[in-house]
Amino acid sequence: MSTLIGALQAINLFCAAIVAGIMVAVLFGVIPSLQKFTMADDLRFHQSLDPRMDAFQPILVVGAGISSIVLLILDHDSALATACLLLGLACTIGIIVASAGFNQPVNRRCQEWTAETLPADYPAIRERWNRIHLLRTISAVVALISFIIAALL
């Protein structure tokens, strides 16, 4: 393995692992905790957390995606490794589509609301956000596992 390939794999795994870890923590820690909050407290929490997450999480997701693309171009000695990289990339693209298409727009809209201006369907919006987050989390974990297998081959 060349130093460049090793460095790219390290970047890929670093980015994918942090993304998956954050998503799993939100799924199993944050979301169940928030379900015990009032809608107003839920909103305040999201208004505090989301801008911080939305500032760096996309960089990590894109980092995992770009590093997997470069690895696909430079390192295709193993058909199984290539397949794993392709699966990880597909899952990473799924995270981007779900995040950009739904979760982040909801996060931005939440920044404009107050406890008094919460839409009546806020609980349904949060539930949909949670379901899409579940899909993003599954994608992140599958991507990470795929990237680990590719790096080991």
In the chain, domain spans: 3-152
What is the number of residues in the chain? 153
- Global pTM value: 0.93
The secondary structure of the chain in percent helix, strand, coil, rounded to multiples of 5, reads 85, 0, 15
pLDDT of residue 74: 93
Amino acid 55: pLDDT:
87
Query: Is it the case that residue 1 has pLDDT exceeding 80?
Result: no
Give the mean pLDDT of 100-125.
94
List, for residues 52-104, the tens digit of each pLDDT value. Answer: 888 899 999 999 999 999 999 998 789 999 999 999 999 999 999 999 999 99
